[in-house]
Amino acid sequence: MPSATLSSCLMKYSKKPLDFHEQVELLASRGLLVENPAAAEAFLNQVNYYRLSAYRLPFENAPHSFAPGTRFEQIRDLYVLDRKLRLLIMEAIESIEIATRTAVAYRISRQYGPFAHAGVKNLKPTFDHATWMAEVLKETDRSKETFVSHFKARYEEYPQLPIWAAAEIMSFGSLSKLFGGLVNDDKREIAGKFGLHPGVMGSWLHTLVYVRNICAHHARLWNRDLAIAPRLPDKDPRWQTLNPSHSKRLASILFLLNSLMTKLPSGGTAAADWRSRVEALLAADPGVPRFHESMGLPADWTRHPLWTS
pLDDT score for 246: 75
Contact 283, 289 (CB under 8 A): no
Q: CA 17 to CA 22: how far, in whole Å? A: 9
Neighbour tally for 41: CB within 10 Å: 17
How far is residue 23 CA from its own chain's centroid? 31
Domain count of the chain? 2
Q: CA 165 to CA 115: how far, in whole Å? A: 10
Q: Which of 200, 299, 245 is nearest to 291 (CA)?
A: 299
Indicate whether 212 belongs to any domain.
Answer: yes
Report which residue type is found at 166. A
Q: Which of 62, 53, 59 is nearest to 220 (CA)?
A: 53
At what angle are helices 267-283 and 250-262 packed, to 10 degrees?
Answer: 160
Contact 79, 47 (CB under 8 A): yes
- In terms of Cβ atoms closer than 10 Å to its own Cβ (0-12, 13-18, 19+), residue 301 is middle
Q: Is 251 in the same domain as 112?
A: yes
Q: Is 34 in the same domain as 163?
A: no
Distance between terminal CA atoms of the chain? 54
pLDDT score for 273: 94
Indicate whether 44 belongs to any domain.
Answer: yes
Using DSSP's 3-state secondary structure scheme, residue 66 falls into: strand
Contact 141, 159 (CB under 8 A): yes
User: What residues have CB less than 8 Å from 106, skipping those under 6 apart?
Assistant: 164
Residues linked to residue 182 through DSSP beta bridges, in sequence order = 123
Q: Is 38 in the same domain as 187?
A: no
Residue 264 structural domain: 80-308
Q: Is 220 in the same domain as 282?
A: yes
SS3 content of the chain, % helix, strand, coil (to 5): 65, 5, 30
Q: Is 106 in the same domain as 179?
A: yes
Q: Is 202 in the same domain as 105?
A: yes
Q: Is 173 in the same domain as 279?
A: yes
User: CA neighbours within 13 Å on the CB side: how many for 52?
Assistant: 21
Indicate whether 72 belongs to any domain.
Answer: no
Element containing residue 209 per DSSP (H, E): helix 198-216
Q: Is 233 in the same domain as 121?
A: yes
Q: Is 254 in the same domain as 128?
A: yes
Indicate whether 101 belongs to any domain.
Answer: yes
Which of the 8 DSSP states describes residue 65? Answer: E
pLDDT score for 231: 92
Indicate whether 75 belongs to any domain.
Answer: no
Q: Is 182 in the same domain as 48?
A: no
pLDDT score for 267: 65
Indicate whether 122 belongs to any domain.
Answer: yes
pLDDT tens digits, the chain, 309 residues: what are they?
Answer: 555 565 568 999 888 999 999 999 999 999 999 999 999 999 999 999 999 999 999 999 998 999 999 999 999 999 999 999 999 999 999 999 999 999 999 999 999 999 999 999 999 999 999 999 999 999 999 999 999 999 999 999 999 999 999 999 999 999 999 999 999 999 999 999 999 999 999 999 999 999 999 999 999 999 999 999 999 998 888 888 887 777 889 999 999 999 999 999 876 788 999 999 999 999 987 888 889 999 999 888 999 999 997
User: What residues have CB less than 8 Å from 268, skipping those under 6 apart?
Assistant: 262
User: What residues have CB less than 8 Å from 253, skipping those under 6 apart?
Assistant: 89, 207, 211, 226, 230
User: What residues have CB less than 8 Å from 27, skipping those under 6 apart?
Assistant: 34, 40, 56, 72
Neighbour tally for 95: CB within 10 Å: 18
Q: Is 174 in the same domain as 60?
A: no
Indicate whether 71 belongs to any domain.
Answer: no
Indicate whether 214 belongs to any domain.
Answer: yes
Q: Is 27 in the same domain as 139?
A: no
